[in-house]
Amino acid sequence: MVSHADVVVVGGGASGMMAALTAAERGRSVLLLERMDQPGRKLRITGKGRCNLTNTAPLRDFLMHVGSDSRFLRNAFGRFFNEELMQFFEQRGVPLTVERGLRVFPSSGKAQDIFMALILDLEAHSNVTIRKGCRVKRILTAESSACGVELENGEQIAAHSVVMATGGRSYPLTGSTGDGYAMLREVGHTIVPTVPSLVPLIIDENLPSETVGFTLKNATLRVCDASGRKLYEGFGELSFEEDALCGPLVLSASRVVSRLLHAGQTLTAHIDMKPAIEDKTLDKRLINDLNANGNRLLDDALRLWMPAEMVPLFKQQLKLDYTKKLHQVSGVERRRLLQTLKGSTFTVTATRGYEEAIVTQGGVALSEVEPKSMRSRKLSSLYIIGELLDLDADTGGYNLQIAFSTGVAAGQNC
């Protein structure tokens, strides 16, 4: 059993496997420690099992999906970015396909192929040892340097460099339960409080069973605070669960509002079902429809303006006498119909938990990590990479690129 190595990598996720491989290619002896029975559990379920490994957007656009801290990544991306990542997998026999939104997937549609490329390469290196079912409990230090790790069973392993790659807290069943935060706090790092992100938003309203499970396409979602200030606005697809809004648009919104919700704020979500039609034009259309179908029941006519699954929700939002005929609908009522089509309103009280969050927001303060090498500014010989860092991005392949690029940076420097 290996009791010392040049480099100990803690965590066999996307970032840890990449760091281990990069260090091994430089001739370092590498010990990869993974608490689960297999590394890469999360990687294998990414992108609904298809793994959206990166995005071909140019650097500037890419960084906009990361947010205000994205400049931290400029150096790492400068050396290993989307093109290098794609080349990396293609050279290892994994053909890739660019899909809608510049998202990159393995052409096979199997996340497993991405995992296999990494694990086979690691296994092919005689200077790499992988220990599974091996949970690290503590970082060992000597003076101001990391000098190894201690396992849950008390065993100590010495190392010249320790790379922390234990991920965030999301999807804890994959092994990412936030262990790294406590270990890094213990050696002096600041942990920006974490919240679940890319996660459904819980609402106060109980949605009608007909609407639950329905996906509304081409809608606009706006989320505002109690004073009416707009926090998020986006266009796309969202869906409804019994007590929550979900789908791509809602996940994006959650990145902006999760922290506020976890601080106890209540927010308001507005859904515009007709974002492409201006009020005036929509009003004209309503007038035409009311005139042309005067004897039709309002209840029945709602389907002229929205998918059938949305009708019960619309009626829940707007209390009207739906037994009326269209010629009986007053100007005020028409105005209210229009307002509800352009903005059904929901009270957002919380997010779902880490079990359903694609990423964790918060983590190791970026000011305490050197952006070029991912080296800790608190302890020399300690490196921190991947989702453990206070970095997160939109859906679209951005998060895995962060994991891979920070992994390469640490692997090149440890």
Ligand X SMILES: Cc1cc2nc3c(=O)[nH]c(=O)nc-3n(C[C@H](O)[C@H](O)[C@H](O)COP(=O)(O)OP(=O)(O)OC[C@H]3O[C@@H](n4cnc5c(N)ncnc54)[C@H](O)[C@@H]3O)c2cc1C
| Contact set with ligand X (CB under 6 A) | 10-16, 33-36, 39, 41-43, 45-47, 51-52, 135-136, 165-167, 170-171, 175-176, 179, 358-359, 386-387, 397-400, 403
Asked if residues 77 and 408 have their Cβ atoms less than 8 Å apart, the reply is: no
Q: What is the DSSP letter of 369?
A: B
CB of 183 to ligand X, least distance (A): 7
Residue 245 C-alpha from the chain's centroid: 16
According to DSSP, the residues that pair with 131 across neighbouring strands are 33
CB of 55 to ligand X, least distance (A): 8
CB of 304 to ligand X, least distance (A): 38
Q: What is the DSSP letter of 15?
A: H
For ligand X, which is the closer residue by CB, 45 or 277?
Answer: 45
CB of 151 to ligand X, least distance (A): 8
Distances (CA, A) of 182 to 34, 51, 93, 381, 396: 17, 29, 38, 18, 29
For ligand X, which is the closer residue by CB, 251 or 273?
Answer: 251
CB of 332 to ligand X, least distance (A): 47
- 151's enclosing H/E stretch is strand 145-151
For ligand X, which is the closer residue by CB, 181 or 305?
Answer: 181
CB of 350 to ligand X, least distance (A): 19
Q: What is the DSSP letter of 297?
A: B
Amino acid at 405: S
For ligand X, which is the closer residue by CB, 170 or 211?
Answer: 170
Rounded CA separation 253/239 (Å): 13
For ligand X, which is the closer residue by CB, 310 or 393?
Answer: 393
Q: What is the DSSP letter of 305?
A: T
- 183's enclosing H/E stretch is helix 179-186
For ligand X, which is the closer residue by CB, 261 or 359?
Answer: 359
